[in-house]
Amino acid sequence: MTANMSKIGMYAAGATIALAVFGGGCSGPKTELFNPETYKGPVGNVVLSSKGETMLYLRNIDSGGYMTVNTKSAKLKLPIGKYDLFDYTSTVQGRDGKTWVLSGGPADPMKPIAFDVTLTKTVSLKIGAPLTASIKVTQKGNKTVNMDLVMLGSGGDKCQIFQGDGSSTPPGFVVMSKTRKALMSGKFQYG
């Protein structure tokens, strides 16, 4: 079977994996690249908390159509209407000179981030930085624990950070006692 899939999102939730196929899939609508400069209808303003060049993957609830929107700044224009944000990618140049990619979406993939665009009010879409990092710890047997790094964006969106060249160094961690003594340190492993 051949499918024109413009976007595939895979999300893990515990032991269950949900595969969501958006836009242009086997039976879904085609995804359009929205260009505000050529659009003739009424538009409203959206300001992103995420900085850098950003690509949003949206569904216009009113029309049922899917679209991607690219912006090189934190400001963009969208047609008036109700939207669901399924995911986004922001690319920034770090102080270290490296290109960094922040990829994110709703914390619950079955509940996209909803927002309304109107003529009269600028929408502030809180996604991406600043990030909050936390560690999810689960016990595995008597002497083993799993530690997962969880990063949430400013609107509660789930995020991942990658180096733009595809390489990525896992972040480190330090386990501290209640008295702030370092008990153990290491690096997270991907996979």
Q: Is the pLDDT of residue 42 over 90?
A: yes
Residue 127's pLDDT is what?
92
Give 164-168's long-range contacts (Cβ < 8 A, gap of 24+): 164/91, 164/98, 164/99, 164/100, 164/101, 165/98, 165/99
Q: Which whole number is the average pLDDT over 133-140?
A: 84
Residue 52's pLDDT is what?
84
Q: What angle do CA 93, 35, 114 make, to 5 degrees?
A: 80
Distance of alpha carbon 66 from alpha carbon 56, whole angstroms: 11
Number of Cβ within a 10 Å radius of residue 147? 12
Q: Is the pLDDT of residue 150 over 60?
A: yes
CA distances from 11 to 109, 135, 158, 160 (A): 7, 18, 11, 12
pLDDT in tens, 7-40: 333 333 322 222 333 433 344 557 888 888 899 9
Distance of alpha carbon 44 from alpha carbon 69, whole angstroms: 14
pLDDT in tens, 63-109: 888 999 999 988 999 999 999 999 999 998 888 888 888 899 998 88
Assess contact for 145 and 139: CB atoms under 8 A: yes
Tell me the pLDDT of the chain averaged across its residues: 79
Q: Using 50, 70 and 90 to split pLDDT, how confident is the model at 116?
A: very high
How much of the chain exceeds pLDDT 70, in percent?
Answer: 82
Q: Is the pLDDT of residue 58 over 90?
A: yes
Residue 77's pLDDT is what?
93
CA distances from 144 to 20, 46, 147 (A): 33, 46, 10
Domain residue spans in the chain? 7-187
**Which range is most confident: 82-86, 147-151, 157-161?**
82-86
Residue 121's pLDDT is what?
95
Q: Which whole number is the average pLDDT over 168-178?
A: 77
